[in-house]
Amino acid sequence: MQHVTLNNGVEMPILGFGVYQIPAEDTERAVSEALAAGYRLLDTAASYGNEEAVGRAIRNSGVPRESLFVTTKLYVQDAPAEENTVRAFETSLRKLGLDHVDLYLMHQPYGDVYGQWRAMEALNREGRAKAIGVANFYPDRLLDLIINNEITPAVNQIETHPFFQRADYQELMRAHDVRIQSWGGFAEGRNDLFTNPLLAGIGKEHGKSVAQVVLRWLTQRDVVAIPKSVRAERMAENLDIFDFELTDDQMASIATLDTGASLFFDHHDPEIVAWLAGRRLDS
């Protein structure tokens, strides 16, 4: 497994396993199979409702804790944000059954972002969150956070796939030493990704699937990827991407698929802002 080094020296696998939209009742089995396949980066969130199942899979796996990289995420907190952030973090630790996480992300750029970030900085200094970062932050919000706070986010997890490639934003993040991580790397199959003629043709040249081509394209761009699957054979296939390399011409051809727009939702849309910022989780 290849690793990337975050801006505080923490090493993170470049390929991991995500559990978004896996029902809680299926998550323990899926994570157990992912760990058996060789995944060591696990990505969950308080809002996914499956942290406890991830924790059970970790405990039953026999994989040493120090070999794992566990990410979870903070959802939008009511005031007082600093106090509630710590409470939310401790709830996530309890559900996971861990004494620390390797990466703690602010899931949405809403609410008292500064209060939440100050609490996350304290958790990082205490060593309970080995690295901290954000998710779904657009350039203006990310730069504002960097400029006005002490700790620069180690990671920004954003929608990144062949139809929304974020290349310019990746360069801006690189300039500020923020690692880009992809969510929705397969675009959830939208735009007929898995039958796309260009991607399928590249896959045929290498004897690989479209999914493997996409994951190789992401990791070859130094984008951390967290594909999800509930099928053990697909989990193994998604890991099998480090024995081939896309050519410069192939990378350039994939670049032509970029539409420059989200396939899911726009964080600048007032209706989306109202929905995400107004949503609250049961503890």
Residues annotated as catalytic are: 48
Residues 223, 226, 230, CA angle at the centre, nearest 5°? 155
> What's the sign of the alpha-carbon dihedral 37, 43, 48, 51?
positive
Distance, in Å, from the CA atom of 207 to the CA atom of 233, rounded to the nearest integer, reads 16
Name, in order, each residue with C-beta under 8 angstroms of 11's C-beta and a sequence gap of 6 or more. Answer: 3, 4, 5
Closest CA to 76 of 36, 105, 37, 38: 105
d(CA 187, CA 169): 18
